[in-house]
Chains A and B, each alone.
Chain A
Amino acid sequence: DVQMTQSPYNLVASPGESVSINCKASKSISKYLAWYQQKPGKTNKLLIYDGSTLQSGIPSRFRGSGSGTDFTLTIRSLEPEDFGLYYCQQHNEYPLTFGSGTKLEIK
């Protein structure tokens, strides 16, 4: 199984700042990495797939990069509504596996 190691566990940032979340796969997953946002009272949202492809309707301040084993989600110019939990997931093979999550808190 592909283990996904996500960091940091927690992030605190102010509106307007940029933050990065990292995800490392235990073996190469080519480009097949997705990022999801989880917020209370909302359904989970797919943000990025194939490492860097923005899902329809997602603001361009979300940017994904990386390939192979190392991936990064960057959120530029943070908005207050960006708080929540973020998960990476490899979509290269079964079993599908997720990172442990990053909690983003807005100052």
Chain B
Amino acid sequence: EVQLVESGGDLVKPGRSLKLSCLASGFTFTNYGVSWIRQAPGKGLEWIASISSSSSYIYYADTVKGRFTISRDNAKNTLYLQMTGLRSEDSALYYCTRGNYELLDAWGQGTSVTVSS
């Protein structure tokens, strides 16, 4: 069974940093690109970053470019999102997703990030 389990979400103050992780299982991690999608409370889905299977291609939304860094450790089947300079508008449920060709064919349950003083 394909599983994506996010962790690392927390309540943090504006300007602080946080690192999210996503542990993948049930499939060959190295065969897939992976992405982070977020959803603010009561709002829609927002793509924020994607990384290809070998980390050769990385893409960011303008809203997080320069502040967030996506990375992966294929030996550990783990995807990361390093978030710096957090703002209140970054408060959201952060989903880890799997997919090639810009599709998102498996999702995790999400980890919650709240940015508040």
Contacts and interface: CB of A to CB of B under 8 A. Distances in A.
B45 A98 contact: yes
Interface stretch (B15-23, B74-82, B84-92, B106-114): B106-114
B104 A46 contact: yes
Interface string A36-76: 10100001111001000001000000000000000000000
Interface string B38-54: 00000011110010000
Interface of B: 4, 35, 44-47, 50, 59, 61-62, 95, 97, 99, 101-109
Interface residues of A, number: 23
Can you list the 8 inter-chain pairs with the closest CB atoms, starting with the nearest? A91-B102, A96-B47, A44-B107, A94-B59, A98-B45, A43-B107, A46-B105, A101-B44
A44 B95 contact: yes
A89 interface: yes
Contacts of B105: 46, 49, 55
